[in-house]
Amino acid sequence: MEAVALYPLDWVEERSGLVGYTKWFLFRKVPHDISWAQTLGAAALTAFLSQAITGVVLAMYYKPDPNAAYGSVVNITEELTLGWLVRGMHKWGASVFIILLFFHMARTFLFGAYKYPRELNWVIGVLLLVSGMLEGFTGYLLPWDQTAYWATAVGINLNATAPFLGPFLAQFLQGGLYIGPDTLAKFYALHMLLIPGAIFALIGLHLYLVVRLGVTSPPWSATAAGRERVDGGGREGLIRDPAVQEEPS
């Protein structure tokens, strides 16, 4: 009976090694003193997954055409079963996602988790923040109401004031002389395909490096992993100035 139940797992394991990898992933060691602060990454990931799921549902009913976009959003909110909930979750989930990214970055900075050998993961995190903000900017136009239109006009004009690349970036985003059908189609494509794809790829890389390099201990932990031990097995003080050189022996 047990052999029958385990057969699918054995089949997958023999062909992919995924079962073994999952076991290793789940039962790998993390520092004993991790706290709730280290859950902010998982929280941000959850917010992003919520955005992805609600976004797919919205995309099934949204029409990226200036004559129909606003009507389709009203239809989703007022007519579709639980459409208000899906749209509300997507609208407010975007803000929650960005806020959690900032909290996660603040935690990483305050814990010194951006230092060697995690510098590359910090850079990927910054790219994720920029991608998240771009996702918010491109998504803001999609309801195609007055607020969306004028907020996007301000955003594009702000981009245009940047030196050298600014005017080209503004022209690319606007897709013409004024904000119209081309702009909406372009923002929809960026919001639906390019930026989410980039975020998924960056999150994959980010998680790979988190698993590979490990999670840092809180700086206030008296027994932080990696801290130098002093005689008797304890750890040295919390603050160690790298500029202070040891005496020659």
Partner 1 sequence: MGTPLKDRNRAEFKRYKEDVESEGKSFFPYAILHDSVMSLVVVAVIIALACIWYFTADGTEAGLLGP
Bridge-partner residues for 235, per DSSP?
229
Shortest distance (Å) from residue 85 CB to partner 1:
6
Shortest distance (Å) from residue 241 CB to partner 1:
11
Q: Is 81 in the site for partner 1 (CB under 8 A)?
A: no
Expressed in angstroms, the distance from the first to the final Cα of the chain is 67
Total Cβ atoms within 10 A of residue 13: 16
Q: Is 246 in the site for partner 1 (CB under 8 A)?
A: yes
Binding to partner 1 by CB under 8 A, coded x per residue (else -) over 161-190, reads: ------------------------------
Q: Is 229 helix (H, G, I), strand (E, B) or coil?
A: strand
Q: What is the 3-state secondary structure (H, E, C) of 117-144?
A: CCHHHHHHHHHHHHHHHHHHHHHHHCCC
Nearer to partner 1, 85 or 123 (CB): 85
Shortest distance (Å) from residue 203 CB to partner 1:
14
User: If you write DSSP's letter for every residue of 71-119 in order, what string do you get?
Assistant: HHHHHHHHTSTTHHHHHHHHHHHHHHHHHHHHHHHHHHHHTTTTSTT-H
Range in contact with partner 1 (rule: CB under 8 A) among 9-17, 59-67, 77-85, 124-132: 77-85
Q: Is 41 helix (H, G, I), strand (E, B) or coil?
A: helix
Residues 37-76 within binding reach of partner 1 (CB under 8 A): 38-40, 42-43, 45-47, 50
Total Cβ atoms within 10 A of residue 183: 20
Residues 2-41 within binding reach of partner 1 (CB under 8 A): 25-32, 34, 36, 38-40
Shortest distance (Å) from residue 92 CB to partner 1:
4
Nearer to partner 1, 15 or 29 (CB): 29
Bridge-partner residues for 229, per DSSP?
235
What does the buried/exposed string (b/e) look like for 35-51 if buried means 16 or more CB atoms within 10 Å of the residue's CB?
Answer: eeebebbebbbebbebb
Nearer to partner 1, 77 or 171 (CB): 77
Shortest distance (Å) from residue 8 CB to partner 1:
21
Residues 195-224 within binding reach of partner 1 (CB under 8 A): 214-215, 223
- Contacts (Cβ under 8 Å, ≥6 apart) of 102: 129
Residues 92-131 within binding reach of partner 1 (CB under 8 A): 92-93, 95-96, 100, 115-117
Question: Using an 8 Å Cβ cutoff, are 6 and 192 in contact?
Answer: no
Contact residues: partner 1, CB under 8 A: 25-32, 34, 36, 38-40, 42-43, 45-47, 50, 77, 84-85, 87-89, 91-93, 95-96, 100, 115-117, 147, 214-215, 223, 225-228, 242, 245-246, 248
